[in-house]
Amino acid sequence: MEKKPITRRDFIRGATCAALGTAAGLSFAFGGEEKALPLVRAVLIRHKDAVDAKGVVNPTVIQKMMDDAVVALFDVEKPIDAWKLMIKPEDIVGIKSNVSGPPSTPGELEKALTKRILEVGVSKKNIDIGDRGVLRQKVFLNSTALINVRPIRTHHWSGVGSLIKNYIMFDPNPPNYHDNYCADLAKLWELPVVKGKTRLNILVLLTPLFHGIGPHHYDPKYTWNYNGLLVGTDPVALDSIGLHLLQAKRREYFEKDSPIRPTPHHVMFADTRHKLGTSDLNKIELIKLGWEKDILI
């Protein structure tokens, strides 16, 4: 019989559990031969009304952005189809948020994620949201699935704080990771409480912080309404794209090349040293949806 060529949609539907268990380097077996998918997929979605001039997040727009992003990421017809690939009704789901900002993960996004996880059939008692204190939250300690969501911002110790770093609260002693400007933050992803559990990563690009001075990191004049979300299964790929965005904004703002200091080398090391994911932008398939003005990428 003639064999029908396998498509990306076929692969995602047929081997999602394996794909989500590995941040990058996805592969499949066909006709006895293993073939590698050449690119890691990421979806950048923007909407001009996601955040208004006063910084108020529009919940309806955020929900639509998330829905459109996961449909594109998993190449399915409806948002619920994507969520059923990621989450099963029996899962215990922790949404690892971030409140260490500003900018912080908006509550509107947390609610949008919770809504879709409930629709999959997960019991409300088996869903929790947390950041500081996750090691004291029963759902996170017993979790079978994690959603990793946080904003990107420059950081005094690590260059940038983003998805890789977001799991630092899963270690009871975060300063363990501060050596050499947090070079080995990817080790966090080997902790038993998180290893192999992450189903989706969302880098929040609504109002990114592209420059900070000193340990307090934040000055509102160095933020802007980019009104975006970056969604994917590979945290290293998303952090690499986010870092590229911050560098582009710094170049535009300061009217010259202005590298982030300290150098956020933990993103590259997450790939080259720890094999967590893909940092090479040439190996990332970036799908862009929505508002294109001043996209910078």
In a domain, 1, yes or no: no
User: How many CA within 13 A on the CB side of residue 226?
Assistant: 27
* Sign of torsion over alpha carbons 219, 167, 275, 206: negative
CB contact burial 181-201 (16+ within 10 A = b; e otherwise): bbbbbbbbbeeebbeebbbbb
Burial class (CB in 10 A: 0-12, 13-18, 19+), 291: middle
Listed residue (145, 22, 11, 6) closest to 76, CA to CA: 11
| Beta carbons within 10 angstroms of residue 206's beta carbon | 25
pLDDT digits 0-9 by tens, 144-200: 999 999 999 998 889 899 999 999 999 999 989 888 888 999 999 999 999 999 999
In a domain, 297, yes or no: no
In a domain, 14, yes or no: yes
In a domain, 222, yes or no: yes
Q: In which domain, by residue range, is 27 found?
A: 8-290
pLDDT digits 0-9 by tens, 45-90: 999 999 999 999 999 999 999 999 999 999 999 999 999 999 999 9
Task: Kindly report the pTM of this predicted structure.
Answer: 0.88
In a domain, 295, yes or no: no
pLDDT digits 0-9 by tens, 201-243: 999 999 999 998 766 678 899 999 999 999 999 999 999 999 9
In this predicted structure, the answer to whether residue 137 has a pLDDT above a threshold of 90 is yes
Domain total of the chain: 1
In a domain, 32, yes or no: yes
Is-contact 223 217, C-beta < 8 A? no
Listed residue (131, 111, 100) closest to 217, CA to CA: 100
In a domain, 227, yes or no: yes
In a domain, 2, yes or no: no
In this predicted structure, the answer to whether residue 24 has a pLDDT above a threshold of 80 is no
